[in-house]
Amino acid sequence: MKHQLAFAALLLACAAAARAQNTLADAMLDKSSSTSVKIQSVFEPAPASGYAPVRVLAVNGTNRDSRWSFDFESVSHHYGKEHRHDSRFTLDMPAGSSQSASFLVPLSVAYGNDALNYGGNHQWRGHVNGAGFATETFYEHENRVTAMPAVALSNTLADQSMAGLKKEIESKRGSSSRHYGHIETFGSQFDPADLPESWLGFSGFDFLLLTHTDWQKLKAPARRALLDWVRLGGRLHLYTTPGVAAASLGLPAGAKEGRTETGLGEISVFGWDGTKLAPLETVNRYWGEPARLKKLVERHSTASDWPLLGLLGERSFASWQVIAFLVIFGILVGPVNLFVLAPSGRRHRLFLTTPLLSLGASVIMVALILVQDGTGGTGRRFVHLHLEPGDATACVTQEQVCRTGVLLGAAFETAQPATIEPLALPDTQWVKLKSTHNTQAVQLTQNGRERRGNYFQSRTEQGHLLRAVVPTRARLELKAGTAPGAAPEVISALGFTVDWLCYKDDERQWWVLEQPLATGASAVLKKAEAVAAQKTLGDAAKPAEQTLRDKLTNHFIERTGWFYARASQAHGLTLDTLAAIRWQDDRILVSGPVARP
């Protein structure tokens, strides 16, 4: 109790300073041994989805080795519902040691009607447990920006610009911004030296803004993580002062002044005076831009925007069967039970017949559900694989939808670090997570690679958006020695068979595959008309949600030296979740630069 009171007093005394330093907790856990912990968030405030990178500095002043656990609860409130994402991390603490660690804490998303406008109310709750001190608890409240894209900008850009940017945001949002818990901020601030070394730490943002000096000072792992995030759809904006050329920044091949697309994302270079960002011009640059949060809470709730949902097919909820069952059960447990099974003079039989009828009805109901719905479930997946041969990685974006019967368990493990985000679906009798005010609250838990909660539920339709960066040597290579003007020959090292493939060479000529190509095999491509190749590419991308589909079809076709391929299987690159779901007829679209000899 003594330590808990001291901890609470310390938090109250340092609350204002803690906010300025992005500090979630800073406590002396045991004064006699100088055992302490400090927990800081890299971004302030945290984004409204994805992961929040958190840095921990722990000191074990005792003479005992121990293992500390850190439990985080990310909570979003909307329409009286509490959406939660819990997580646990551990840290080994040898006696008399100081340890630092970085945790990627999953964040809750506010689902429901108008969540994009009023879903910013967020709470951090946390518990630190370790040998030699009582459990310590920390609590932090913040309002996250949800009415515009999630933007993060470095302290260098924010120091003298944030006041003007906030004022411009307030002007655009008007008087309504002072209600419903809104905050007037342009975005989240960060110190580039603290940026995470995993793309997951950037996963909640749409835009990340750096100066060219910030970019050049980044450590190699953080720069690699940023590029992975870009290839998965992030947008990196670099601000340069006059006289600095984009070519001198060490950007990926092809990046130049202005906008350069990389994977599903883009890198853009803008000029600034080195002191202050122009408020009106800067806010207009981001105001109204597509936000990934909208994809989670709204975009997939319209079937016309997401053809994959249509491939799942429709199924009647058969509510008449439930009504008929209840009517029959009511007759049996009422008049039949009262006047036939336990008539006057034998009423004591009710103590036996009523529970037996109830038990029998329950068994029959379970049997009917098992016969009608079965166990496990069936689903459809659309997977986009962006291959980067130079980095030996595949950036995986996977959309999936499934309909379940009876699930005997809902926990699962992931083979690699990934974001797995539930999607709000159209309001039907099978759907529980909706974009309406009566949506079900999302309760999720992550402990290492294990996921629990209502990702998957019995007798429900649910959808998910998954993203991951998977190590792989998969690639498509151009065969050396092809004569100028001759049809190109490609060699597959993809690891799976593709049934269609097209390639756009440096002369903007389209070439296509005439028959399926297995891994390890080679094929000479055939010249094709651009319109026909683009139509087939559009058909391959058709199951995707509209914004992803537009990106795949409208922007990718402008790139030269790239290939696009269609497959039905890609073992090791598709992202598996609950084993009880039977995924049928996967639609896989592969793209990336062709490896040259």
**Residue 347: what pLDDT?**
79
Q: Considering only 78-87, 157-166, 533-542, which range has the smallest mean pLDDT? A: 78-87
- Evaluate whether 212 touches 172 at the Cβ level (below 8 Å): no
Q: Give the residue from 373, 408, 440 where a domain finishes.
A: 373
Instruction: Please indicate, yes or no, if residue 538 is contained in any of the structural domains.
Output: yes
Question: Of the candidates 41, 32, 33, which has an alpha carbon nearest to the alpha carbon of residue 72?
Answer: 41
Please give the structure tokens belonging to residue 168: 């411009």
Residue 519 CB partners (closer than 8 Å, separation 6+): 492, 493, 494, 495, 496, 497
- Evaluate whether 400 touches 381 at the Cβ level (below 8 Å): yes
Say yes or no: 394 and 534 in one domain: yes
**Residue 468: what pLDDT?**
97
CB atoms within 10 A of CB 335: 10
pLDDT digits (tens, 9 = 90+) for 221-246: 999 999 999 999 999 999 999 988 87
Query: Measured between alpha carbons, how far apart are the two ends of the chain, in Å?
Result: 69
Average pLDDT over residues 180-184: 53
Report the alpha-carbon distance of residue 321 to residue 307 in Å, rounded: 30
Instruction: Please indicate, yes or no, if residue 303 is contained in any of the structural domains.
Output: no
Report the alpha-carbon distance of residue 333 to residue 324 in Å, rounded: 14
pLDDT digits (tens, 9 = 90+) for 435-453: 888 899 999 999 999 999 9
**Residue 4: what pLDDT?**
38
Instruction: Please indicate, yes or no, if residue 528 is contained in any of the structural domains.
Output: yes
Share of the chain above pLDDT 90, in %: 56
CB atoms within 10 A of CB 539: 13
Report the alpha-carbon distance of residue 360 to residue 395 in Å, rounded: 52
Instruction: Please indicate, yes or no, if residue 94 is contained in any of the structural domains.
Output: yes
Instruction: Please indicate, yes or no, if residue 312 is contained in any of the structural domains.
Output: no
pLDDT digits (tens, 9 = 90+) for 8-39: 333 333 333 333 457 888 888 888 889 999 99
- Residue 547 C-alpha from the chain's centroid: 16
**Residue 529: what pLDDT?**
93
Looking at the DSSP assignment, which residues form a beta bridge with residue 235?
207, 266
3-state secondary structure of 50: coil
pLDDT digits (tens, 9 = 90+) for 376-418: 899 999 999 999 888 899 999 999 999 998 898 999 999 999 9
Average pLDDT over residues 526-546: 92
Looking at the DSSP assignment, which residues form a beta bridge with residue 510?
504, 528
Q: CA angle at residue 126 from 423 to 417, to 5 degrees? A: 45
What CATH number should be reported for the domain holding residue 117?
A: 2.60.40.10
More confident residue, 237 or 172: 237
**Residue 146: what pLDDT?**
67
Please give the structure tokens belonging to residue 310: 């249509």
- Residue 271 C-alpha from the chain's centroid: 31
Instruction: Please indicate, yes or no, if residue 535 is contained in any of the structural domains.
Output: yes
Say yes or no: 165 and 273 in one domain: yes
Instruction: Please indicate, yes or no, if residue 307 is contained in any of the structural domains.
Output: no
Residue 558 CB partners (closer than 8 Å, separation 6+): none
**Residue 20: what pLDDT?**
41
Q: Give the residue from 352, 373, 394 where a domain finishes.
A: 373
**Residue 485: what pLDDT?**
76
Please give the structure tokens belonging to residue 317: 């909820």
Residue 338 has pLDDT above 60, yes or no: yes
Please give the structure tokens belonging to residue 512: 């296509």
Report the alpha-carbon distance of residue 248 to residue 212 in Å, rounded: 10
Say yes or no: 163 and 83 in one domain: no
Region of 520 (left: φ > 0; alpha: ψ -120 to 50; beta: rest) is left
CB atoms within 10 A of CB 140: 20
Strands 581-583 vs 377-388: parallel, antiparallel or unpaired: parallel
Say yes or no: 114 and 162 in one domain: no
Average pLDDT over residues 480-507: 90
Count of domains observed in the chain: 4
Say yes or no: 248 and 339 in one domain: no
Say yes or no: 170 and 251 in one domain: yes
Residue 70 has pLDDT above 80, yes or no: yes
Say yes or no: 265 and 276 in one domain: yes
Burial class of 123 by CB neighbour count within 10 A (0 to 12, 13 to 18, 19+): middle
Average pLDDT over residues 300-325: 77
pLDDT grade for 284, boundaries at 50, 70 and 90: very high
Please give the structure tokens belonging to residue 344: 């006057």
- Evaluate whether 198 touches 226 at the Cβ level (below 8 Å): no
- Evaluate whether 191 touches 155 at the Cβ level (below 8 Å): yes
Instruction: Please indicate, yes or no, if residue 459 is contained in any of the structural domains.
Output: yes
| Residue reference for tokens 């906030």 | 166
Report the alpha-carbon distance of residue 524 to residue 512 in Å, rounded: 9
Enclosing domain of residue 540 = 374-597
Residue 151 CB partners (closer than 8 Å, separation 6+): 145, 186, 187, 188, 205, 206, 207, 208, 209, 286
Say yes or no: 406 and 540 in one domain: yes
Say yes or no: 452 and 341 in one domain: no
Say yes or no: 352 and 448 in one domain: no
21-30, 484-493, 573-582 — most confident range: 573-582
Whole-structure pTM value = 0.87
How far is it between the farthest Cα atoms of the chain?
Answer: 103
Average pLDDT over residues 196-210: 97
Report the alpha-carbon distance of residue 177 to residue 193 in Å, rounded: 33
pLDDT grade for 150, boundaries at 50, 70 and 90: very high
Share of the chain above pLDDT 70, in %: 90
Say yes or no: 441 and 348 in one domain: no
pLDDT digits (tens, 9 = 90+) for 421-439: 999 999 888 899 998 888 9
Say yes or no: 11 and 126 in one domain: yes
Mean pLDDT across the chain, nearest whole number? 86
**Residue 253: what pLDDT?**
61
Q: Give the residue from 373, 402, 437 where a domain finishes.
A: 373
pLDDT digits (tens, 9 = 90+) for 555-573: 767 788 899 999 999 999 9
**Residue 19: what pLDDT?**
39
CB atoms within 10 A of CB 515: 7
Report the alpha-carbon distance of residue 333 to residue 353 in Å, rounded: 8
Residue 560 CB partners (closer than 8 Å, separation 6+): 504, 505, 506, 507, 508
**Residue 8: what pLDDT?**
35
- Evaluate whether 203 touches 419 at the Cβ level (below 8 Å): yes
Q: Considering only 148-157, 353-362, 500-509, 515-524, which range has the smallest mean pLDDT? A: 353-362
